A = this chain, B = another copy of it.
């Protein structure tokens, strides 16, 4: 017996994600979907990215977790609007959850929404949420062999952040092997080496993100000009 239950769920998710994209485009908001294992440093990376870009962009955060609101509280303590989604058990965010979250945010005032997906290297890869880009974080303590074991997330990410590089000497992390395997799976994706809690390397990653935001805004303006002409 074989039943593919994933198709109807994914089809509905895709439709709502496209609706999210239209709403976000209408307001000129760029959305980043940030994915990683539990404890890889998603929240620290978000806080460091906010520090790097808050003078240039108006930013909000959507926090996804099975339970708790500790991450949203950390972001709010940083003076940034945050919506917490508790999935209640689901291992990833879906576009209906994002639809409700963006309805709670002041889209007219925003340039960038960062979505912190549920800590997981598997489930989030299949779900388009209406974002402009998916980016993943791998942290050094997780080990250099993760691209072999979880190829999907490395393939779907536009960029790969390698976090906690300050702990490289503590762990047996073969960076050469890691880089080679990421390049094989996803030749176009840049790898940004950072230590989020110390701010190391964050500037390069933030510049890449800023360039993506500016390019998306320029593309929307062109379309707007064409539509208006």
Contact = CB atoms under 8 A, between A and B. Distances in A.
Interface stretch (A45-53, A120-128, A201-209): A120-128
Interface in A1-54: 1, 3, 5, 8-9, 12, 37-40
Secondary structure call for the A interface: loop
A40 B37 CA distance: 10
Contacts of A167: 141, 167, 170-171
A164 B140 CA distance: 13
A118 interface: yes
Contact of A65 (B37, B89, B149): B149
Interface string A115-149: 00011111100100000000000010111011011
A190 interface: no
Task: Report copies per complex.
Answer: 2
A39 B173 CA distance: 11
Contacts of A38: 37, 121, 142-143, 146, 149-150
A152 interface: yes
Contacts of A5: 5, 9
Q: Chain A contact residues (Cβ within 8 angstroms of B): what range?
A: 35 or more
Contacts of A139: 39, 141
Given A5-B9, A38-B146, A120-B122, 20 more contacts: A1-B12, A37-B37, A37-B119, A39-B139, A39-B143, A65-B149, A66-B149, A67-B149, A67-B150, A68-B145, A70-B145, A71-B149, A89-B122, A91-B91, A118-B122, A119-B150, A120-B120, A141-B142, A141-B164, A167-B167
Q: Which 6 A-B pairs have the closest CB atoms?
A: A39-B142, A141-B141, A91-B122, A68-B148, A39-B143, A37-B38
18 contacts: A37-B38, A38-B142, A39-B139, A66-B152, A67-B150, A67-B151, A68-B149, A70-B148, A90-B122, A91-B122, A91-B123, A119-B150, A120-B120, A122-B123, A141-B141, A141-B142, A141-B167, A172-B197
